[in-house]
């Protein structure tokens, strides 16, 4: 066991206490005020310098080495979800209707654990380690705002590390991936318009409902008949609304959905193809279609050299059998992608499940919980990987 792993293991009870406090007091995106106060309390107690106000509630902390060198960034998101918790834990949410169902309580705890470890080793550091406690991952993309506020400068950050807990893996194991890690996404709205009339005289109008149905059916081929099967993407229409009464031909239907893809060229192609399919299909039925896109986060693309460091660190600390090399990207989205666009980076999965104890619910589930053994594992890997990147 390395010194860092031993230090992390000795913090197990402290890390559990920190995480449970965050878990009991979740706050929504942009409202992470108590959360930020608590983070600063811990940083003050450990003598770690920081500044507040990045993207409003964000915090940038700095473990400053005693010798010059590079700077590694470690990011942890802070916000919770609008969800009522049903996990039944004694440390459950005390904020009705709000829950840390995406593991951000663990992400903050892991980062704090790594910060405490590295602060105790600062006399050995040739360089610095910055910590980005980031708001609003779930909504407005707090990562981009923190970068715009200058978090990657003064001192200049050379690499960035991030992680997400995953119930696909048990605590004590991890997943890493080279290249495309997570998807880009584009929310979209399609409005199909026609001409309303009495249901007894459909020839007097243009049925937007029928046209929209054809558009919806056609979109099911957007991916399956336009992309190679090995090119991951998905088109989801999750909401559709139209009509005012059962005996009136509908003149307006709105559908809302999202496109997900991992390749920038595929992303642009899907937007162009969706627009053409919607407009031309509606026109074929005598109607019209307007399409609006709302781009979200870019694809998260890991840097191979940084993935090498994280993988080798995890293999050394946990054993190679506990490290999974992921073969497919995750089509979820993650605003860590902005950090990965700006600097060489690695985003990886920290196993948090315990299948024997029934801790296996996925994130964004009202019964989500985690095996707290993962906290020391995450803190050790992030701290050790940062040391390796500093050389």
CA-based nearest residue to 367, from 20, 84, 86, 82: 86
Supply φ then ψ for residue 214, to 5 degrees. Answer: -65, -40
| Residue 274 near residue 219, CB atoms below 8 Å | yes
Catalytic residue among 297, 334, 338, 384: 297
153 is catalytic: no
Hunting for tokens 């960035």 — which residue is that? 160
Output the six-digit token pair for 27: 């706050």
Residue 349 in marked binding region: no
Residue 104 in marked binding region: yes
Hunting for tokens 């992680």 — which residue is that? 163
Output the six-digit token pair for 16: 């559990």
Residue 164 in marked binding region: yes
Where are the alpha helices (H) located in the chain, listed in sequence order?
3-10, 12-24, 33-45, 104-120, 142-148, 208-219, 221-224, 264-284, 304-318, 337-342, 373-390
Q: Is 238 exposed, middle or buried (0-12, 13-18, 19+ CB in 10 A)?
A: exposed
Bridge pairing between strands 126-134 and 67-77: parallel
Catalytic residue among 279, 334, 372, 384: 372
| Residue 375 near residue 110, CB atoms below 8 Å | yes
Residue 366 in marked binding region: no
312 is catalytic: no
User: How far apart, in whole angstroms, are the C-alpha atoms of residue 389 and residue 3?
Assistant: 17
Annotated binding residues: 102, 104, 138, 164, 364
Q: Which amino acids are annotated catalytic?
A: 297, 372
- Residue list for the binding site for Mn(2+): 102, 104, 138, 164, 364
């Amino acid at each position: 066991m390395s010194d860092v792993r031993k230090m992390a293991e000795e913090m197990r009870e402290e890390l559990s206490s920190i995480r449970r406090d965050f878990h009991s007091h979740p706050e929504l995106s942009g409202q992470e005020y108590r959360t930020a106060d608590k983070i600063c309390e811990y940083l003050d107690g450990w003598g770690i310098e920081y500044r507040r106000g990045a993207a409003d509630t964000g915090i940038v902390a700095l473990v400053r080495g005693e010798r010059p060198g590079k700077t590694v960034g470690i990011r942890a998101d802070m916000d919770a979800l609008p969800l009522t918790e049903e996990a039944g834990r004694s440390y459950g949410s005390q904020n009705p209707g709000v829950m840390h169902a995406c593991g951000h309580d663990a992400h903050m705890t892991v980062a704090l654990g790594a910060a405490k470890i590295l602060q105790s080793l600062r006399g050995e550091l040739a360089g610095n380690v910055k910590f980005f406690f980031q708001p609003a991952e779930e909504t407005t993309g707090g990562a981009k705002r923190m970068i715009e506020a200058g978090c990657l400068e003064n001192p200049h950050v050379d690499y960035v590390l991030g992680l997400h807990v995953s119930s696909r893996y048990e605590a004590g194991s991890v997943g890493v991936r080279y290249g495309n890690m997570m998807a880009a996404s584009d929310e979209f709205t399609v409005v199909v318009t026609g001409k309303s009339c009495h249901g007894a005289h459909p020839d007097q109008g243009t049925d937007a409902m029928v046209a929209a149905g054809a558009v919806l059916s056609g979109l099911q081929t957007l991916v399956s008949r336009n992309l190679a099967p090995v090119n991951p993407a998905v088109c989801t229409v999750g909401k559709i609304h139209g009509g005012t009464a059962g005996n009136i031909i509908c003149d307006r239907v709105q559908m809302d959905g999202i496109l997900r893809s991992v390749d920038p060229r595929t992303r642009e192609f899907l937007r162009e193809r969706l627009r053409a399919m919607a407009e031309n299909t509606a026109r074929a039925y005598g109607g019209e279609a307007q399409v609006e896109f709302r781009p979200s986060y870019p694809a998260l693309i890991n840097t191979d050299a940084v993935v090498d460091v994280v993988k080798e660190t995890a293999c050394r600390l946990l054993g190679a059998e506990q490290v999974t090399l992921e073969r497919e990207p995750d089509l979820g989205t993650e605003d860590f992608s902005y950090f990965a666009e700006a600097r060489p980076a690695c985003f990886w999965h920290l196993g948090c499940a315990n299948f024997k104890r029934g801790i296996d619910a996925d994130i964004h589930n009202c019964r989500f919980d985690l095996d707290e053994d993962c906290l020391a594992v995450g803190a050790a890997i992030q701290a050790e990987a940062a040391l390796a990147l500093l050389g």
